[in-house]
Structure 1
Amino acid sequence: MNSSDIPNDSRGNRRITSDEEAIEALLMAANEVENRDLPLGFQNHDVEMEERKSTDLDDEDEAYLANWQKQWAEEQAARKRRHDYEVSRNYKVARTFALDLHSDLKIVEKTEEEEEVIRDEEKSEFQRAKESIKKRREEISTTSDMEIDPMTVLRKAPTLVELSARVLAQNIVAIKSLKLVPDHLRKKLSYLVSGLGKVDTRLMELLIEDSPNEICAKNCVELEEDDLIKILCDCDRVSLKVLILDLCGRSITDYTIREFFKRAPNGFPSLTTLSLQGAFCLTDIALLLISSSSPLLQFINLTECSLLTFRALKILADKFGSTLRGLSIGGCQGIKWYKGFSSSLYKFEKLNYLSVAGLDSVNDGVVRTFFMFRSSNLTDLSLANCNEVTDDCIWHIGRYCKKLEALDITDLDKLTDKALEFITEGCKYLRSLKLTSNGFSDEGIAACLEVSGGSLNELCLNKVRNVGPHTAFSLAEACKRLQFLDLSWCRRLTQEDLRRILRCCSSLRSLKLFGWTQVDDTFLEELSRSHVHITGLKMTSLYAHLDNFYPSVGAKFF
């Protein structure tokens, strides 16, 4: 600090060099204060200034007072600068001492280039992929005009087992017995017959013959109450482990269940898997009876059972909370939100599969606790049509559901590209991903495929309106294991994009193209020679390949 910055005791700014001169200056100042009747000290400086304004001062006094105020302000500023300097110096001294004490720690000043690299490293894989996708627009535009070799891989001939099963399904009325037929072939034959709508009492009698471990029927629309009672009573309930009676709405009623338990009070002691999808007459009371008679139950499918209420969830949680591994209550509109919904869900400790699709009561808060504490074993999850789910819920899925293999987030309007980032960064083992009717960007979906596409077997982009060339490019480059692909109503894709996908995705088995009007007849003829089963285009049968249906989330459990 310059000496001129320090206020002096005289108007001539006389320099003080010794203690005697300092004392003399103080005495002179005191005499002057006494002569001029000035107040001593600076504590009440503001008050004194106000009082002085109210009195009449001559010009000399006003000039002296103004000069004195200026010097006081300069002194305050100098003191502040001196304090800041001391603080800074002390910090540097302490920092140097700490670094000397811990010699293994070194602070290296980073250049702007290094800081840019560090910021780039802090970005997630999804963000880096998205940025690179935005930069490759020119590459896509140049390669889109390239001539791609026609698809020469011919469709493989079906196996003898597949041909035989189809013929048997079409002539089921001629079959007299299924004795000695293994369960997996019975199941395949039953599914083919269900697709043809020929499941009746006679077929069910064939399926329960010879005490099988599994009874599987996907289309039980024609069964009546008395028919189902007879079938359940005649089957070997002790050895029965899997019972699938989907679309049995007319036959599964309170009367059916009560009458069955009157005749067979022991119920199903060995049953582990039960599917009653579409049983719209099933009530909470009937479910309680079934649960009480099936102590070993591990997987239960109650999709579209509209008469069930929140009590059904409580019954299952109380009886199977520690043992149940698969639960589907999707589409059960009778299950409304109630105070104990989250606590009931929390009781399921070992779930591998959960479907709450279409439940209006599901939101971020309802499932947050379950994901945080009970989802470590979850491999299959469906939140389709849960309209209140947001990116926050997807963050919890990515954070806690590390083993997730199949995810269905169909028709969730509140999701953004951040949801895709959470999925790709957290769920490293995804095999099936359904993004139907969502508003994700073309770059976001492409970045998701760049990061996670290598493990995908199934991808559904039906009605994702922003799907475009970036997604097509990433599909062709990254999704080499893809077997099932749905691009229905993706109108921004072109023939060249589709040709690139079919050419590069060598494992592709089935492709859905409903709503595609941007293909010409020549390309359709080329597609007809492809090894891929294509459904949805004109001149292709809707029911041509029902045995190659798209596996739903949780299909491996039922």
Structure 2
Amino acid sequence: MEDTVCRSLVHISSLFPEILAMIFSHLDVRDKGRVAQVCVAWRDAAYHRMVWRNVEAKLHLRRANPSLFPSLVKRGIRRVQVLSVRRSLRDVMAGIPGLESLNLSGCYNITDVGLSQAFSQELSSMVLLNLSLCKQVTDSSLGRITQYLKNLEVLELGGCSNITNTGLLLIAVSLKRLKRLNLRSCRHISDQGIGYLAGMCQQAATCGNPELEHLGLQDCQKLTDQALKHVSVGLPRLQTINLSFCGSITDTGIKFLSKMHSLRELNLRSCDNISDNGLGFLAEGGSRLSSLDVSFCDKVGDQGLAYLSQGLFSLRSLSLGSCSVSDDGIDKIVNSLHDLTTLNIGQCSRITDKSLSSIGGKLKQLKSIDLYGCTRITTVGLEKIMQLPGLTTLNLGLWHKR
């Protein structure tokens, strides 16, 4: 019956398998599986590695399935996300030689013991490991990871609250190819740990991760300006850094970062001690930032926007949610930062139609604007915004029509 179906589709089934594979490669994952069930010819074409290139398999590791891993290997799948674990991770490592990416995010029952069993020999092909929210993971696991996964380029540890500076020392000594490191809510780490990443170790002859391009430090509340001094000295290729909710960071720390010409994205959301002066340091230091978030920094006001308008000409995205800015400050950036594509001024309660008129008249590249909670704007101002040719996103939550 299946072969009869295929013969009836002469114009498609007569194609070379390589051509069918090219066509199937454009389907979503579910449809890739469906076409493999049509007939033998389509099944063979659908199992071509081209079809599954860059696909991440999503697995529940429950009962044993002898055909699972051979099927993944046949299709050339080398990226896996484990959704739940009830059996050993060692089966994944053994079943998929050459595994490149392993995502264990949210697998709360993952322990140091389970990871030690999984990582028991060198895995040179692995470049990405995501352990976000694996809350039982400690520095002991990092010892295994740094011993056997030396080619890691991406390591996600967000929410691994038992990681300490000792774990960062292990990373600094062994993971020399690391480009992205997320330490969100790793609240035990301090300036000393960031110093290790920046190459400042007395315990080892060589350490540091100079290839780091992205560093997530959100909610690492022990960090101070000293950590940013370490970053500015020892991480010359850093492009993005997330410092949101790091309450001890001050304008002094921003002065260190302002000298990093590689830096493109800076997130200071809810950093209570950042003020207009910090934005002034960014402008004076020749910063080439394309994205800046100072939302909920209540010490940032119109003077800070005046500083930005005088020096941060590369800005494309600016978030000012709940800052103490008015129409005067918005006027400054509108007249200077013409290439902005994203602007968040939600909950800036002093903003009126005057700002919207300026934005609509001068920010012709704007694609997204957040006006959540801007209760002093009216339909008159919104009409100006709606005339922007490229606008695709407009947030008006808590706006009272007048």
Band the TM-score falls in, shorter-chain normalisation: 0.7 to 0.9
Q: Does the 8 Å contact 2:225/2:248 carry over to 1? A: yes
Alignment of 1:487 with 2:345, yes or no, is: yes
Alignment of 1:210 with 2:69, yes or no, is: no
Q: Structure 2 vs 1, CA of residues 418 and 349 (structure 1 numbering), >3 Å: closer, same or farther?
A: same
1:422 aligns with one of 261, 269, 281: 281
Alignment of 1:408 with 2:267, yes or no, is: yes
Of 413-422 and 361-370, more deviation after overlay is shown by: 361-370
1:389 aligns with one of 213, 228, 249: 249
Pairwise CA distance, 1:337 = 4.0
Structure 1 CA distance for aligned equivalents of residues 190 and 230 of structure 2: 15
Structure 1 CA distance for aligned equivalents of residues 283 and 25 of structure 2: 40
1:508 aligns with one of 366, 389, 399: 366
Q: Structure 2 vs 1, CA of residues 337 and 234 (structure 1 numbering), >3 Å: closer, same or farther?
A: same
Q: Structure 2 vs 1, CA of residues 294 and 422 (structure 1 numbering), >3 Å: closer, same or farther?
A: same
Pairwise CA distance, 1:450 = 3.7
State how 1:309-348 maps to structure 2 within 5 Å: 309-320=164-175, 322-333=176-187, 335-337=188-190, 342-343=195-196, 345=198, 346=200, 347-348=207-208
Q: Does the 8 Å contact 1:491/1:518 carry over to 2? A: yes
Alignment of 1:361 with 2:222, yes or no, is: yes
Equivalence for 1:352: 213
Pairwise CA distance, 1:433 = 0.9
Structure 1 CA distance for aligned equivalents of residues 73 and 306 of structure 2: 49
Q: Does the 8 Å contact 2:153/2:177 carry over to 1? A: yes
Q: Structure 2 vs 1, CA of residues 307 and 299 (structure 1 numbering), >3 Å: closer, same or farther?
A: same
The 3-state SS of whatever aligns with 1:258 is helix
Q: Structure 2 vs 1, CA of residues 337 and 375 (structure 1 numbering), >3 Å: closer, same or farther?
A: closer
Pairwise CA distance, 1:423 = 0.8
Larger radius of gyration: 1
Structure 1 CA distance for aligned equivalents of residues 28 and 372 of structure 2: 30
Q: Does the 8 Å contact 1:489/1:516 carry over to 2? A: yes
Pairwise CA distance, 1:363 = 0.9
Q: Structure 2 vs 1, CA of residues 437 and 497 (structure 1 numbering), >3 Å: closer, same or farther?
A: same
Q: Does the 8 Å contact 2:194/2:227 carry over to 1? A: yes
Structure 2 CA distance for aligned equivalents of residues 227 and 340 of structure 1: 32
- Partner letter of residue 330 of structure 1? R
Give the count of matched residue pairs. 349
Query: Alpha-carbon deviations, 1:374-426, whole Å to 9, x = none?
Result: 13332222222221222222222223x12211111222222222211111122
Structure 2 CA distance for aligned equivalents of residues 523 and 361 of structure 1: 43
Equivalence for 2:85: 224
The 3-state SS of whatever aligns with 1:311 is helix
Structure 2 CA distance for aligned equivalents of residues 234 and 379 of structure 1: 36
Between 1 and 2, higher relative CO (CA 8 Å, sep ≥ 6) is seen in 1
Pairwise CA distance, 1:231 = 4.5
TM-score for the superposition, normalised by structure 2: 0.72
Structure 2 CA distance for aligned equivalents of residues 303 and 501 of structure 1: 37
2:396 aligns with one of 537, 552, 555: 537
- Partner letter of residue 412 of structure 1? C
Structure 1 CA distance for aligned equivalents of residues 295 and 72 of structure 2: 36
Q: Structure 2 vs 1, CA of residues 336 and 538 (structure 1 numbering), >3 Å: closer, same or farther?
A: closer
Q: Does the 8 Å contact 1:385/1:411 carry over to 2? A: yes
Root-mean-square deviation (CA, aligned residues, Å) is 3.8
Q: Structure 2 vs 1, CA of residues 341 and 244 (structure 1 numbering), >3 Å: closer, same or farther?
A: same
Structure 1 CA distance for aligned equivalents of residues 25 and 374 of structure 2: 32
Structure 1 CA distance for aligned equivalents of residues 360 and 94 of structure 2: 51
State how 1:179-218 maps to structure 2 within 5 Å: 180-181=50-51, 183=53, 186=55, 201=60, 210-212=75-77, 214-215=79-80
Structure 2 CA distance for aligned equivalents of residues 174 and 462 of structure 1: 46
Structure 2 CA distance for aligned equivalents of residues 332 and 410 of structure 1: 17
State how 1:216-255 maps to structure 2 within 5 Å: 222-226=83-87, 230-236=91-97, 238=98, 240-241=99-100, 243=101, 245=103, 247-250=105-108, 252-255=110-113
1:290 aligns with one of 130, 140, 145: 145
Structure 1 CA distance for aligned equivalents of residues 303 and 118 of structure 2: 56
Of 295-304 and 503-512, more deviation after overlay is shown by: 503-512
Of 474-483 and 387-396, more deviation after overlay is shown by: 474-483
Pairwise CA distance, 1:358 = 1.6
Query: Alpha-carbon deviations, 1:318-338, whole Å to 9, x = none?
Result: 212x443332212112x2448
Q: Does the 8 Å contact 2:224/2:249 carry over to 1? A: yes
Pairwise CA distance, 1:315 = 1.4
Pairwise CA distance, 1:526 = 8.0
Equivalence for 2:322: 463
TM-score for the superposition, normalised by structure 1: 0.54
Pairwise CA distance, 1:271 = 2.1
Structure 1 CA distance for aligned equivalents of residues 134 and 25 of structure 2: 28
Pairwise CA distance, 1:431 = 1.0
Structure 1 CA distance for aligned equivalents of residues 35 and 320 of structure 2: 41
Identity across aligned pairs (percent)? 20
State how 1:370-389 maps to structure 2 within 5 Å: 370-371=231-232, 373-389=233-249
Query: Alpha-carbon deviations, 1:313-364, whole Å to 9, x = none?
Result: 12112212x443332212112x244867635643425133323222122112
Question: Is the helix fraction higher in 1 or 2?
Answer: 1
Q: Structure 2 vs 1, CA of residues 512 and 207 (structure 1 numbering), >3 Å: closer, same or farther?
A: farther
Q: Does the 8 Å contact 2:351/2:377 carry over to 1? A: no
Equivalence for 1:553: none
Alignment of 1:271 with 2:126, yes or no, is: yes
Any unmatched runs of 5+ in structure 2?
Answer: 1-23, 37-45, 62-67, 201-206
